[in-house]
Copies of this chain bind each other. A is one copy, B any other.
Amino acid sequence: MLYLVGLGLHDEKDVTVRGMEAIKGSERVYLEAYTSILGVGKERLEAFYGKEVVVADRDMVEMDSDEILRDADKVDVAFLVVGDPFGATTHSDLLLRADALSVPYTVIHNASVMNAVGALGLALYNYGQTVSIPFFTDSWRPDSWLERVRENLRLGLHTLCLLDIKVKEQSEENLARGRKIFEPPRYMSVPCAISQLLSLLEEEGQTPAEASSDDAVALNPATTLAISASRVGAPSQRFVSGTLEELSKLDEEAFGGPLHSFVIVGRRFHALERDFAVRWAVDKDNWNQVSNGVYKVRD
């Protein structure tokens, strides 16, 4: 049996009891380590599970999945994924390959940021599509995610913005020369993401009036509310709420270490949600003023 086990959000104790049993009973244990990171290293996992854990990078999962699946029709193999096994990536390729090899599989679910973001107090029903914000480079400033944010805003929906992580990436030069030398990992911070957003809006020559006849989708930095969520599910978890402008002016230290994400608040926003999130506001008075004046929250 192949067990796809979600590890949850933070450390070795976020695995479920069922997941733990599957790991302990497995002959081999792999850890998928390219779409997200835990707050702890694999040594902590190995000590807690009492099992050697093999880190599987993208190359291994995509090119060498038969090694992961080897003998899994006869013995149990666990494939660990930070968050939920279907969160960032569906791992459908691996499961279809298991089917082709007549290897049965079982999925053991866990929390991922996709549902744990509910901790911000905004109803999950009122979220639209989730976007990923990639790092800008000197020559590439991807902006397709911005249109998706606006599609959500037009419907009054919130947008969960997940921020780029670069793990085990090669420089262009090392890639061209086939050198397996990897850059240090990089994790996008909330101020970096929001400054990229503001620079795209500036490029558009944006004023609320020009950008859209619909003020809700104009993304005016002074009147668009957002809530950041750092290290969701960890003891050091931190939430900060404010306008885009307010959040952009904070130092990275205000959010703490990675991983960061944030939510752009849509107009389906209610009094209880305002009151829940005001507790983390950069400026409580302004949070309430924008909520009531611009978002038209009614008590």
Contact = CB atoms under 8 A, between A and B. Distances in A.
A90 B123 contact: yes
A128 interface: yes
Contacts of A129: 125-128, 155, 157
Interface of A: 6, 8-9, 12-18, 20-21, 84-87, 90, 92-93, 95-96, 99, 107, 109-112, 114-116, 118-119, 121-132, 151, 155, 157, 232-233, 272-273, 275-276, 279
B114 A124 contact: yes
Nearest to A158: B129
Contacts of A157: 128-129
A281 to B, nearest CB: 14
Contacts of A233: 107, 109
B151 A93 contact: no
Contacts of A124: 86-87, 114, 130
B16 A110 contact: yes
A67 to B, nearest CB: 21
Contacts of A122: 90
B15 A119 contact: no
Contacts of A12: 17
A65 to B, nearest CB: 14
Nearest to A86: B118
29 contacts: A9-B109, A12-B17, A13-B16, A13-B17, A14-B16, A16-B16, A84-B115, A84-B116, A84-B118, A86-B115, A86-B121, A87-B118, A90-B118, A90-B122, A90-B272, A92-B121, A92-B272, A92-B273, A99-B279, A107-B119, A109-B233, A110-B110, A111-B111, A111-B115, A124-B130, A125-B129, A125-B130, A126-B129, A128-B129
